[in-house]
Amino acid sequence: MRTEVEMMNLGMNFAIQCEKIRIFTLEGSRTNANIPRDEFQDYDFSYFVTDMDFFKKSDEWLNYFGDRIIMQKPEAMELFPPELGNWFSYLMIFEDGTKIDLTLIPLNEFKDYFEHNDGLVKVLLDKDNLIKEPVFPTDRMYHIKKPSEQSFIDCCNEFWMTSTYVAKGLARKEILFAADLMNGPFRPNLLTMLRWKVGIETNFSLSIGKSDKFLQKYITEDRWNRLLVTYELGSYQKVWKALYTSFDLFRETSHFVARTYGFRYPDFDEKVSAYIDRIHQKYRND
């Protein structure tokens, strides 16, 4: 696998040599000092160009970066609608295992880019000195945010409402439906509550990463192990256990958040729990 120095030089040399590229930026985890380095990190390159069609008419120029084992062009796909407007991206994995996510951006959109990016941006090349203010990478946008009382109540409401859908799926012997709901609208509310607890304990000074991937560092081993149980969905018994384990974790965590801020803990818990207990008693052994 090529080194970071090699890859950064590769991206820079191409940008310098190509007259149609005017700005070169690096985004993502490689700009974030709080993310540990590892061999699987992408190189998120963006080239701001004067002629998009010049690059899009052929993929041959991408051979400069190495031999690919696979490439995806999201903005050229039919099954998954594009989301980047006038931008165009190439997601490439090379034979040595290196991955580059390269985005082409029309040069005339550079102001909008710097006004609305997520903060994790480093300017590597600005041939025309178009960027007047210094740019410092920061993950502040991803820091855990303090909840309002309404957000807290909404989270509780969604958690307990969607739990009933899981229970009905189990009663109907629709395990794929129940598991999908566990992963979809239900468990994310538990993760939101756990995230708020971490925020309280760290003074809302950090991010725990995409998909809460660093959560384990900030909760107890017991709480972490119980959270993992909620992902064990291979049988009806396991999904029931995952559901009830989620209830226990959510109660503990939401009561902590409520006490911290003086929020009212809503009565969804008691009433919905009784409702689901009745379903469980009737259908758990079917």
Two tokens, residue 244 = 């009830």
CA angle (209, 215, 220) in 5-degree steps: 165
160-176: per-residue pLDDT in tens? 999 999 999 999 999 99
Band of pLDDT at residue 84, cut at 50, 70 and 90: confident
The verdict on pTM exceeding 0.85 is yes
- Rounded mean pLDDT of 92-98? 97
Higher pLDDT, 37 or 231: 231
Residue 83 confidence (pLDDT): 81
- Indicate whether 240 pLDDT > 70: yes
Band of pLDDT at residue 49, cut at 50, 70 and 90: very high
CB 247 within 8 A of CB 254: no
- Indicate whether 81 pLDDT > 90: no
What is the average pLDDT value for the chain, to the nearest integer? 96
Comparing CA positions, the residue from 58, 59, 57, 47 lying closest to residue 19 is: 47
Two tokens, residue 164 = 């009933």
Longest dimension (CA), the chain: 71
Band of pLDDT at residue 286, cut at 50, 70 and 90: low
Two tokens, residue 22 = 């005017």
Q: Domains of the chain by range and CATH?
A: 4-141 (3.30.460.10), 143-283 (1.20.120.330)
CB-based contacts of 285: which residues, under 8 Å, 6+ apart? none
- Indicate whether 262 pLDDT > 80: yes
Two tokens, residue 199 = 């925020």
CA angle (214, 218, 219) in 5-degree steps: 115
Residue 21 confidence (pLDDT): 98
